[in-house]
Structure 1
Amino acid sequence: MKKKKLLHSHSIDFDLIDQWLKNYFLDPKTLHEDHTQFKIDIYETNTDWIIAAFLEEFASSEITVKVEDTSLKITAQKHSYKFPSPFPKHFRSIDFPFSIINHDVKAFFENGTLEIFISKSNIGHGKNRFITLP
């Protein structure tokens, strides 16, 4: 199966990405949310940006991942048979300096770590969407 490539019009300013990553990790809000919600790390490889969210206390069925234009939204909440749920909802949103809906996004959850891969070269659906965890 041949992979689709991003069109030239979807090219990314990698200097802008580097500055965005520096700003993200220096932002006091990031540190606060790492302690009050759940910890997130962001990595970069030659082919992907990788977001790792540490959700040891949750099952994959209790986690949702949504791509909305320039944002990646991760929500985790324990299942409950009561309404309203007695368990707090944990939420993180990462705002990228480019539209991520145009990129292929995949997510995997194993041993309490959610890994989300945003492809640098393969195109996505171009729509807001939920990412299914296997």
Structure 2
Amino acid sequence: MNKKKCSNPMDIHGIEEWMSQFFTDPFTSLLDEQTFRLDLFETGEDFFVEAELGEAISTEMINITVNREHLYITVLEGNQEKHEKKRTVVLPFSIERKKIAASFTNGILEIKISKSIPSSPPSPFIIING
């Protein structure tokens, strides 16, 4: 995936270009099929990442971490033989100090990243509300 960043992350053209690159990248479609499907969208106040993980997954099996502009989603599957499915979302700006909330309902993980509200205190680990 082209990891091009825009100089002004709140520049609407830069955000649209970043989202377009994400959705048109053939590797994204392949990862959707081999791991789990991801969708990105935004509102005036927030960015959203939705992951379709399935009903058999529980919040204890999901890890979400943040490092600069990277959002990492890891899902652990299996009982005796551990199997991980991972996806990384690279945003066009740092999200380490942004307020991030996650919830998991009916097999859908929703991660909400505030455009303007800072995290207090910043943490690399995101707690999932179920």
- TM-score normalized with structure 1 length: 0.83
- Which residue is 1:52 aligned to? 50
The answer to whether 1:116 aligns with 2:111 is yes
Asked which structure has the greater RCO (Cα within 8 Å, sep 6+), the reply is 1
Q: Which has the larger radius of gyration?
A: 1
Mapping 1:88-99, distance limit 5 Å: 88-99=83-94
Report the secondary structure of 1:12's partner residue: coil
Instruction: Structure 1: give runs of 5+ residues left out of the alignment.
Output: 1-9
Report the secondary structure of 1:30's partner residue: helix
- Which residue is 2:20 aligned to? 22
Give distance in 2, aligned partners of 1:15 and 1:71.
Answer: 20
1:95 Cα deviation after fit: 0.5
Post-superposition CA distance 1:65-90 (Å, at most 9, x none) = 1111000000001253x4xxx24210
Tell me if the contact between 2:102 and 2:111 (Cα under 8 Å) persists in the aligned partners.
yes
Give distance in 2, aligned partners of 1:97 and 1:108.
Answer: 23
1:126 Cα deviation after fit: 7.7
Give distance in 2, aligned partners of 1:11 and 1:36.
Answer: 30
Tell me if the contact between 2:9 and 2:93 (Cα under 8 Å) persists in the aligned partners.
no
Q: Percent identity?
A: 31
Q: Which amino acid aligns with 2:32?
A: D
Greater shift in the superposed pair: 123-132 or 34-43: 123-132
Report the secondary structure of 2:17's partner residue: helix
Give the aligned length. Answer: 121
Report the secondary structure of 2:15's partner residue: helix
Runs of 4 or more consecutive aligned structure 1 residues displaced over 4 Å after TM superposition: 125-128
Q: Which amino acid aligns with 1:52?
A: E
Post-superposition CA distance 1:49-68 (Å, at most 9, x none) = 01000011311110011111
Mapping 1:1-134, distance limit 5 Å: 12-56=10-54, 57-78=56-77, 80=79, 82=80, 86-125=81-120, 127=122, 129-134=124-129
Higher strand share: 2
Q: Which amino acid aligns with 2:37?
A: K
User: Over aligned residue pairs, what C-alpha RMSD do you find?
Assistant: 1.8
